Homo-oligomer: A and B are copies of this chain.
Amino acid sequence: MDISKIVDKVLLTPKSALPLYSQIARVLAENIKNNALPAGIKLPPERELAALLGVSRTTAINAYRQLEEQGLIITKVGSGTYVADLTPSLQPTPAVPWSQLFTPSPNIQLSSILRELIASAAAEDIISLAAGMPDPALYPLKHFHRLFSQQSSHLNGSDLGHIPTEGYLPLRRALAARLIKKGYNITPENTMIVSGSQQGLYLITKAFLEPGDYVIVESPTYLGAIQVFSAANARLLSLPALGSLPLDLLEDYLIRYRPKLLYIMPTFQNPNGRVMPIEERHKLLQLAAKHRLVIVEDDPYGELYYGEQPPHSLKALDPYGGVIALGTFSKILFPGLRTGWVIAPETVINRFALEKQYIDLHSSNLSQKLLFDYLSEDLLDGHLAFVRTEYKKRRDSVAGALKRYCSPYLTFALPSGGFYFWCTLNEGILTRQLLHEAGKTGVSFVPGEAFYADDSGSRELRLCFTTHPEERLLEGIKRLSKALHVLANNNTGSHERRAVTPII
């Protein structure tokens, strides 16, 4: 085969943006792909190609190199350069059907509620009372800025390599010291730093739950917990959590199902704001001890009280040793730290560390170092006092506005701490209708259904009162009121329960 015929077709443009060798490679590539240069044919040596084209040998070498990188030619040492066999790679294969390759997907339904919310919150003129976030304007950035700069001068390599999976030891020590003051009977070995308390929940799930295991959850409860337990294929038992905890029903569950865990938020429950009284805490612990129940106590809001300090945590009161506690800096400082903690017996911490190794080796060095510095300077309590005062004001304004603008369509109990109003709509208005209407008036919230493992919550909703300054919160409530009034006036009985119709 006369390669020179093909080479003759190579028209070089010396001033092109494309280098000469790329121009040569391009023409040869075309001829290889359209089979004018068939597989297996030997190409001229570089020196010869250079001479044929009147270019330098380096240009010829680079042209071949580029073709080689594209897999179009093969160099055999001591033998020469050949056109590669492309047949198989040119056979088109259909697109990979990725979604068919996945493991069964957890819980898409609830996630879609969340995604809808996130999408609506992102819309510009919507006031979001949905996300459970502290107000970014209150983040103690001044201190963190200073700590950043200080850190700049004393950061060193060893802080930025790998640290233990259980967490940065100075931070674990500082955290343990803080919790001991709050009545916890622990050592630093009972603590583990995790990437947000969400990761703590995930580790608990990995270490304790097998598909089909029973988990008791309050009803309503934190959406993220419902999701992570459901994704592990656990079976959820709902324990109504309004008024006092139904300990008789709990005992029934314990005898009937032998559940692996009870997941509970005894202090400023999310979403309903409930605080479990001290006697109830003792009774719950006694029942847990009697039936050997493991309790997972989630306490993200305990430090955010707007009246009396709440009772000691279950973990602090626990006489039997069956409580695992979760905490986080996300609500009391800011979510971007991605730092929470787990408190548990050392055996449990060891198992969690084994699981966490597979997940991410360890949590962020930067956040852990910064938090250690922040705690060391004893700044947290001052910040807490400050946000308590501020959030209390906001709570009171929102409560007033809800009464003024949303009565009689909406009722609520005043929360004594935490981030949320848990509201109930009058008969005749459904939360999903309200969410839709509120989208038009420019406010969003989390519909009650998101907090139930069953299909309850159709007339409930959660409003967060901490994320925005007072004025914007009030504007949000006014917009909610507008949506409520539209619905109250137009409603034509769509609250009727849909009958189940067979699909044929």
**A148 touches which one: B93, B101, B148 (CB < 8 A)?**
B148
User: Which residues on B sit within 8 Å (CB–CB) of A337?
Assistant: 160, 365-366
The answer for the CA separation of A91 and B151 in the assembled complex, in Å, is: 51
The answer for the CA separation of A391 and B70 in the assembled complex, in Å, is: 29
Copies in the complex: 2
* Per-position 1/0 for A146-159, Cβ under 8 A of B: 10110111011111
Q: How many residues of A contact B (CB 8 A)?
A: 101
Q: Which of A98, A99, A108 gathers most chain B CB within 10 Å? A: A98
Q: How far is the CB of A272 from chain B (nearest CB, A)?
A: 22
* Per-position 1/0 for A239-264, Cβ under 8 A of B: 00000000000000000000010000
Q: Considering only CB atoms, which chain B residue lies closest to A290 in the complex? A: B88
* Per-position 1/0 for A379-395, Cβ under 8 A of B: 00000000000000000
Check A89/B282 contact, CB under 8 A, given A71-B317, A133-B161.
yes
**A99 touches which one: B102, B146, B347 (CB < 8 A)?**
B347
Q: Is A338 an interface residue (CB 8 A)?
A: yes
Q: Is A103 an interface residue (CB 8 A)?
A: yes
Q: Are B152 and A148 in contact (CB under 8 A)?
A: yes
Q: Are B359 and A202 in contact (CB under 8 A)?
A: yes
The answer for the CA separation of A317 and B89 in the assembled complex, in Å, is: 10
Segment of A18-26, A136-144, A436-444 engaged in the interface with chain B: A136-144
User: Which residues on B sit within 8 Å (CB–CB) of A74?
Assistant: 278-279
User: Which residues on B sit within 8 Å (CB–CB) of A139?
Assistant: 157, 160
* Per-position 1/0 for A83-104, Cβ under 8 A of B: 0100011110101101101110
Segment of A8-16, A350-358, A494-502 engaged in the interface with chain B: A350-358
Check A338/B363 contact, CB under 8 A, given A71-B278, A71-B282, A322-B96.
yes
Q: Is A321 an interface residue (CB 8 A)?
A: yes
Q: Considering only CB atoms, which chain B residue lies closest to A118 in the complex? A: B164
User: Which residues on B sit within 8 Å (CB–CB) of A183?
Assistant: 69
Segment of A206-214, A447-455, A481-489 engaged in the interface with chain B: A206-214
Q: Is A271 an interface residue (CB 8 A)?
A: no
Q: Is A334 an interface residue (CB 8 A)?
A: yes
Interface of A, secondary structure class, is helix
User: Which residues on B sit within 8 Å (CB–CB) of A370?
Assistant: 366
The answer for the CA separation of A151 and B133 in the assembled complex, in Å, is: 22
Q: Are B206 and A103 in contact (CB under 8 A)?
A: yes
**A336 touches which one: B161, B210, B260, B311 (CB < 8 A)?**
B161
**A365 touches which one: B209, B228, B336 (CB < 8 A)?**
B336
User: Which residues on B sit within 8 Å (CB–CB) of A195?
Assistant: 195, 359-360, 363-364
The answer for the CA separation of A312 and B71 in the assembled complex, in Å, is: 9
The answer for the CA separation of A228 and B227 in the assembled complex, in Å, is: 23
Q: Considering only CB atoms, which chain B residue lies closest to A201 in the complex? A: B358
Q: Considering only CB atoms, which chain B residue lies closest to A334 in the complex? A: B160
**A202 touches which one: B198, B278, B358 (CB < 8 A)?**
B358
User: Which residues on B sit within 8 Å (CB–CB) of A91?
Assistant: 289
* Per-position 1/0 for A172-211, Cβ under 8 A of B: 0000000000010000000000111011001000111110
Q: Is A50 an interface residue (CB 8 A)?
A: no
Check A69/B133 contact, CB under 8 A, given A152-B149, A321-B95, A338-B364.
no
* Per-position 1/0 for A260-300, Cβ under 8 A of B: 10000000000000000011011001100110101000000
Q: How far is the CB of A192 from chain B (nearest CB, A)?
A: 14
Q: Is A31 an interface residue (CB 8 A)?
A: no
User: Which residues on B sit within 8 Å (CB–CB) of A96?
Assistant: 292, 294, 320-322, 345
Given contacts A89-B285, A145-B152, 6 further A-B contacts (CB under 8 A): A103-B209, A103-B210, A139-B160, A148-B149, A148-B152, A149-B149
